[in-house]
Amino acid sequence: MGKQTYKIVKSKVTEGLKDMESRKGRFRAFDAIRPAMLKMVPNYPELSNRLRQIKEYSMDHLDEVIAKAQRSLEKKGCKVYLADTAEDAQNYIASLIPKEGLVVKSKSNAGKEINISHYLEDRGVTVVETDLGDRINQLAKCEASHSLAPAIHLSIEKITQLFSEEEGTQLECTPEALVVSARKGLRDFLVKADVGISGANAIAADTGSIFVTENEGNIRAVSMMPKVHIVIAGVEKIVSTLEDAMQVVRAAAVYGVGQDIGTYVSVISGVSESLDPDLDEDSHGQGPKEVHIVLLKNGRQEAIEAGFQESLYCINCGSCLNFCPVYAEVGSKYGYKYLGGRGLVFAAFHGDLAKTEENGLSLCIGCQKCQTACPVQMATPNMLWKLRQDAVAQKGAGWKKDLIFSMLSKPQTLPMVSKLATTFGKLALKESDKGMTSRLTFNSFGLPQERVIPRFSGKSFTEIAKPKPLANPIKKVGFYPGCVVNYTETDLGEALLHVLEENNVEVKLAKEDVCCGIPSIVSGDLVHAKTMALKNIEAYSSLEMDALVFVCPSCAVAFKEEYPKLFAEDSPELQKKVRKLALKVKDINEFLSQDIQLKPPEHSVAETVTYHDPCHLARSMGVKKDPREIIQKIPGVNYVEMQDADMCCGFGGSFSLSFYELSQRINEGKLKDVADTQATTLATSCPGCMVHFRDGIAQHAMKQKVSHVVQILSRAYGRR
């Protein structure tokens, strides 16, 4: 990311963080939608897997389902237009509308994709949005801030002002009064409209049926009352069968708003016709005389060819946005056309990587909450990493990252930097009881004066560590400490050695290791990542061990998941070595709970403890139960579960350097949940999370200690 692009993104972030009114609206929506969705999803345990299979099949057989849908729709009297580009779609739609005509339009993400409202208005057509949220935005002359709740960024006072001006009288500032006003105004437009435009949730290829679901009833009116109905839909909305389409509609309700089904589900299978035997055979019914289906290709095939087919599985339910920590804080400043990470992928497969970068490619923190909330399990973070790789391939990573990644890939560099920081750091840093803070302002490096950073150790963990050889160990493990443990959190490494020794497990350390490479991987710099990975693979493959344990889940994920991907096209011998090492990877909680019989601790730890789930541990590795069980086995501990324990803390490694204010804002939400538990100790299983929490606790003058689960267990074994 170039300097100018970074400035653009930083400006968007700053603007988003300042807009507290919009933030309040988003969190009001989240407070209603999140619990409802989390309660509803377990009622449909097979829905997600089934839906993913449906979308996979449709995209794998795209030409076939398009052709089948076209035949079925035309047989039912619909007119189908395949639009290769947005311009093709715009021109076709405009040709169907009288000059200075009136169009009523329902919510349509595909319509927004091709800017159809603005396009028609520029040509003298009056376009009236009928979705309540979109209508509010139209009157306010602003863009939607959520796919399902477009106007959550506006206060009720502002909405009252807009509707009062529209109606010419002062309205009561109540939701009921505003709904009555909107309904009254829209009815007149619906009666007089020449054309109705809608989107589609799904199109069944076998029956030529268009499915639309809603809670307001406006789409039903738009599709029934005007003489002409135009449906705009991406070709990815086509599924094979009527039953498949119903699954899409079900998922949109379950995952989008936490309902078992939408209030209204309309199925349009052709033009309106009367079946009254007393009338002529071709007598027209009460609905529109013409139904036009505009199917957008508009970059979809290019997306498939570029490896982004999975982005076309999206059903636009908005569930990803409801759980994304970045979207929660900056709202519509994150994304392009479509909000959030999926919008960035959309921009890219339209050949505009610059738009993707300017609208937040660097903002995805990689927490994967979007993926676990998604009804099709769409791996948006992985697609964004791929786009970052494309950006780095085109423009490079930038001199700062080049310098940092070069340092991280050399075994001798970090120890030297650590020693220099220890020796000369006091010139630039001042010490406090919480850690180190800057004497100067280093904003370009993500070190504003108030930020608390950990103290560098004079010697690295690998220099000071003295694992004891054991006569008859029950297991032998390798231990990869990672950068944070090696150079700042050396006590955590010592605690691990103590815990494993207490459990008669022998620990082996590599003579020389380097960074795991995860910072390079998520930045898109695979050249440096492969250099680091190769050195670690050689260092740890040579150890005789039953498992390779980690106290940092990000490092564990690098070895377990990312290394096999990095070398997927290398020699079979290397691939075999990488896979063999990956199979030995264990998070320390997982190892202590599942691989050995944990020795009961004897010492009481009189602390009230709550636990934060690190993103990589909870979602990539699926380890959530084990750390909690370990904590609750410790005598004296009063364990209290916090709300949303697996929501991201905002660290994200280099993310917190580049976007410190945003990472801190995300962290504030977590700290509130911590405070609500009244815990004296915040436990977690990630050194990065620990660093970030300590900084946040210092900024907010809180009193909690922050410890890794292993450190608490070590104290229970008598280490002080």
Q: pLDDT tens across 45-80, in order?
A: 999 999 999 999 999 999 999 999 999 999 999 999
> pLDDT at residue 38 above 70?
yes
pLDDT-derived band of residue 428, with 50, 70 and 90 as boundaries?
A: very low
Residues 333-348: tens digit of each pLDDT: 999 888 999 989 988 8
Residues 474-514: tens digit of each pLDDT: 999 999 999 999 988 999 999 999 999 999 999 999 988 88
CATH of the domain spanning 608-716, picked from 3.40.220.10, 3.40.50.300, 1.10.760.10, 3.40.50.1860: 3.40.50.1860
- Candidate from 303-317, 393-407, 532-546, 667-681 with smallest mean pLDDT: 393-407
What whole-number distance in Å separates Cα of residue 439 and Cα of residue 170?
56
In angstroms, the Cα distances linking 82 to 56, 69, 92, 119, 292 are 21, 11, 10, 19, 11
SS3 of residue 151 by DSSP: coil
> pLDDT at residue 429 above 70?
no
What whole-number distance in Å separates Cα of residue 373 and Cα of residue 381?
13
In angstroms, the Cα distances linking 653 to 382, 389, 491, 660 are 17, 18, 20, 11
In the chain, % helix, strand, coil (3-state, to 5) comes to 55, 15, 35
What whole-number distance in Å separates Cα of residue 682 and Cα of residue 574?
41
> pLDDT at residue 665 above 70?
yes
- pLDDT of amino acid 278: 60
Q: Is the model's pTM score more than 0.85?
A: yes
Contact 290, 79 (CB under 8 A): yes
Burial of 399 (0-12, 13-18, 19+ CB in 10 A): exposed
What whole-number distance in Å separates Cα of residue 360 and Cα of residue 146?
16
Mean pLDDT of 566-593: 97
- Average predicted confidence (pLDDT) for the chain: 90
pLDDT-derived band of residue 440, with 50, 70 and 90 as boundaries?
A: very low
| Percent of the chain predicted with pLDDT > 70 | 92
pLDDT-derived band of residue 543, with 50, 70 and 90 as boundaries?
A: very high
| Closest by CA position to 149, among listed 339, 330, 337, 19 | 339
The secondary element (H helix, E strand) that includes residue 217 is none
Mean pLDDT of 691-703: 92
What whole-number distance in Å separates Cα of residue 332 and Cα of residue 329?
10
- pLDDT of amino acid 34: 95
Q: What is the DSSP string of 591-629?
A: HHHHTS-PPPP-S----EEEE---HIIIIIS---HHHHH
Mean pLDDT of 313-325: 95
**CA torsion through residues 182, 187, 192, 193, sign:** positive
> pLDDT at residue 438 above 60?
no
What whole-number distance in Å separates Cα of residue 708 and Cα of residue 151?
42
> pLDDT at residue 462 above 60?
yes
Q: What 8-state DSSP symbol labels residue 558?
A: I
- pLDDT of amino acid 275: 61
Tell me how many helices (H) and strands (E) the chain has.
36, 22
Residue appearing with tokens 């302002």: 441
What whole-number distance in Å separates Cα of residue 598 and Cα of residue 709?
14
Measured torsion, CA atoms of residues 384, 387, 388, 394, in degrees rounded to the nearest 10:
-170
Q: What 8-state DSSP symbol labels residue 561?
A: I
User: In terms of pLDDT, which residue wins out, 139 or 286?
Assistant: 139
- pLDDT of amino acid 284: 64
- pLDDT of amino acid 537: 96
> pLDDT at residue 400 above 90?
no
- pLDDT of amino acid 247: 98
Q: What is the token pair recorded at 328?
A: 């929660």
- pLDDT of amino acid 448: 63
Contact 382, 565 (CB under 8 A): no
Does the fold of domain 608-716 match that of domain 45-296?
yes
What whole-number distance in Å separates Cα of residue 107 and Cα of residue 200?
9
- pLDDT of amino acid 424: 41
Strand-pairing partners, residue 705, are 681
Burial of 600 (0-12, 13-18, 19+ CB in 10 A): exposed
Mean pLDDT of 514-527: 92
- pLDDT of amino acid 427: 40
- pLDDT of amino acid 719: 87
pLDDT-derived band of residue 349, with 50, 70 and 90 as boundaries?
A: confident
What whole-number distance in Å separates Cα of residue 150 and Cα of residue 152?
6
Give backbone dihedrals phi and psi of 354, rounded to 5 degrees, phi first. Answer: -60, -40
Mean pLDDT of 638-653: 95
What whole-number distance in Å separates Cα of residue 631 and Cα of residue 710?
9
Contact 505, 474 (CB under 8 A): yes
Domain segments of the chain as ranges: 3-13+308-395, 45-296, 608-716
Altogether, the residues listed in the chain come to a count of 720
- pLDDT of amino acid 689: 96
Contact 452, 695 (CB under 8 A): yes
**CA torsion through residues 169, 170, 175, 177, sign:** negative
Residue appearing with tokens 């705009």: 232
- Candidate from 273-277, 587-591, 667-671 with smallest mean pLDDT: 273-277
> pLDDT at residue 555 above 50?
yes
pLDDT-derived band of residue 657, with 50, 70 and 90 as boundaries?
A: confident
**687-706: buried (b, 16+ CB within 10 Å) or exposed (e) per residue?**
bbbbbbbbbbbbbeeeebbb
> pLDDT at residue 714 above 80?
yes
Mean pLDDT of 363-382: 95
- pLDDT of amino acid 585: 98
pLDDT-derived band of residue 363, with 50, 70 and 90 as boundaries?
A: very high
Residues 2-29: tens digit of each pLDDT: 788 999 999 999 999 999 989 998 999 9
| Homologous superfamily (CATH) for 45-296 | NagB/RpiA/CoA transferase-like (3.40.50.10420)
Strand-pairing partners, residue 507, are 477
The secondary element (H helix, E strand) that includes residue 431 is strand 429-431
Residues 377-394: tens digit of each pLDDT: 999 999 999 999 998 888
Task: Residue 24: count other Cβ atoms within 10 Å of its Cβ.
Answer: 13
Q: What is the token pair recorded at 360?
A: 């937040």
Radius of gyration, alpha carbons of the chain = 28
